[in-house]
């Protein structure tokens, strides 16, 4: 990469070409996407703008910032931490090392939750109590609050989101505020359902959770962004299901009659969820919802 002063003279298209080469050499799995995201960020614009303005030039200070971001990315830091945000489900979610970066696969959990709530509102359920466990950056809670802003304001939906990490909850509060929905979501710190139990919250009609489900071995390998994200957000124990099993054991008595829990799971973990539900003796119908690639991503546990 030429020094920042020389690069400042280069047009956007050449900056992208040089950035792709640098990131490809460094072993990035997505050098073009990363390069375009970082170069457009240096211009304070998005990728569509970058494609439409290949001849624009950066000021020297912006070129110097870009050079340092490229080195951070070359060292393995995720683009979302470098830019400080991620576009997720049409929202801008602030991201930093306090919490997991929201993943595309979690959009299925969000869409399933949106559909469950819409269905209950359509059936004129008086109040829909929704809990999110392990909110992290607050991406899911923010998505629900933005979509159901009016129903929340009117008290038709009550939404609480918890996390055991106080740092993650700080970020969640920032994301709710940035998306104009603070005050509509109750945030609580503690282990699994404990904060909601202590607050004497009503039983949940819908519980959603994207809890850690990687195996400890996968986390220890620190591949990709995992080396930069909090282990607390990722490590689900020897087979990935430790935290999810604990949550399932806490569900009886906390889910309302006809209540539904939607749990994001890893590939092949549906069987483990089924076995745990049987072991507890919970009377529930379980379905595993697949993503577009046919991989089971969400376990839907509906009380009978």
Ligand X SMILES: C[S@@+](CC[C@H](N)C(=O)[O-])C[C@H]1O[C@@H](n2cnc3c(N)ncnc32)[C@H](O)[C@@H]1O
Q: Considering beta carbons, is residue 37 or 140 the nearer one to ligand X?
A: 140
Site residues for ligand X, 190-249, by CB under 6 A, read: 191-192, 210-212, 232-233, 243
Distance CA 22, CA 33 (A): 13
Stretches 40-48, 161-169, 220-228, 278-286: which one binds ligand X (CB under 6 A)?
A: 161-169
Residue 75: CB atoms within 10 Å:
9
CB of 189 to ligand X, least distance (A): 9
H or E stretch at 176? helix 166-178
Site residues for ligand X, 113-132, by CB under 6 A, read: none
CB of 195 to ligand X, least distance (A): 8
- How many residues of this chain interact with ligand X, rule: CB under 6 A? 24
CA distances from 118 to 113, 131, 154, 284 (A): 9, 15, 15, 21
Among 37, 133, 255, 301, binds ligand X (CB under 6 A): 133
Among 135, 142, 215, 269, binds ligand X (CB under 6 A): 135
Query: What one-character-per-residue DSSP string does 40-104 give?
Result: HHHTTS-HHHHHH-TT-B--HHHHHHHHHHHHHHHTT--HHHHHTEEEETTEEEE--TTSPPPPT
CB of 17 to ligand X, least distance (A): 33
Report which of 275, 256, 266 is spatially closest to residue 201, judged by C-alpha positions. Answer: 256
Among 67, 164, 181, 265, binds ligand X (CB under 6 A): 164
Q: Locate 231 and state its tokens.
A: 């282990």
Residues contributing to the site for ligand X (CB under 6 A): 99-100, 102, 106, 133-137, 139-140, 162-165, 168, 191-192, 210-212, 232-233, 243
């Amino acid at each position: 990469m030429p020094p920042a002063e020389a690069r400042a003279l280069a047009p956007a298209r050449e900056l992208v070409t040089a950035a792709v080469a640098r990131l490809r050499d460094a072993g990035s799995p997505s050098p073009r996407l990363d390069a375009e995201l970082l170069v457009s960020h240096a211009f304070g614009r998005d990728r569509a703008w970058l494609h439409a303005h290949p001849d624009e030039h950066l000021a020297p200070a912006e070129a110097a910032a870009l050079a340092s971001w490229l080195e951070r990315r070359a060292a393995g830091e995720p683009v979302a931490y470098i830019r400080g945000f991620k576009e997720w489900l049409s929202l801008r979610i602030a991201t930093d090392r306090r919490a997991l970066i929201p993943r595309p696969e979690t959009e299925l959990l969000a869409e399933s939750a949106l559909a469950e709530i819409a269905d209950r509102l359509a059936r004129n359920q008086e109040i829909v109590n929704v809990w999110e466990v392990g909110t992290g950056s607050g991406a899911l809670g923010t998505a629900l609050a933005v979509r159901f802003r009016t129903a929340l304001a009117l008290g038709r939906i009550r939404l609480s989101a918890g996390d055991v990490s106080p740092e993650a909850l700080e970020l969640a509060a920032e994301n709710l505020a940035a998306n104009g929905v603070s005050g509509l979501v109750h945030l609580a710190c503690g282990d699994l359902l404990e904060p909601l139990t202590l607050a004497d919250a009503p039983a949940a009609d819908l519980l959603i959770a994207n809890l850690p489900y990687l195996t400890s071995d996968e986390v220890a390998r620190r591949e990709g962004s995992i080396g930069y994200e909090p282990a607390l957000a990722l490590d689900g124990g020897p087979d990935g299901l430790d935290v999810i099993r604990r949550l399932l054991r806490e569900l009886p008595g906390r889910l309302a009659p006809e209540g539904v829990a939607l749990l994001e799971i890893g590939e092949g973990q549906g069987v483990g969820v089924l076995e745990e539900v049987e072991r507890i003796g919970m009377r529930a119908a379980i379905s595993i919802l697949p993503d577009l690639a046919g991989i089971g991503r969400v376990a839907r546990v509906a009380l009978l």
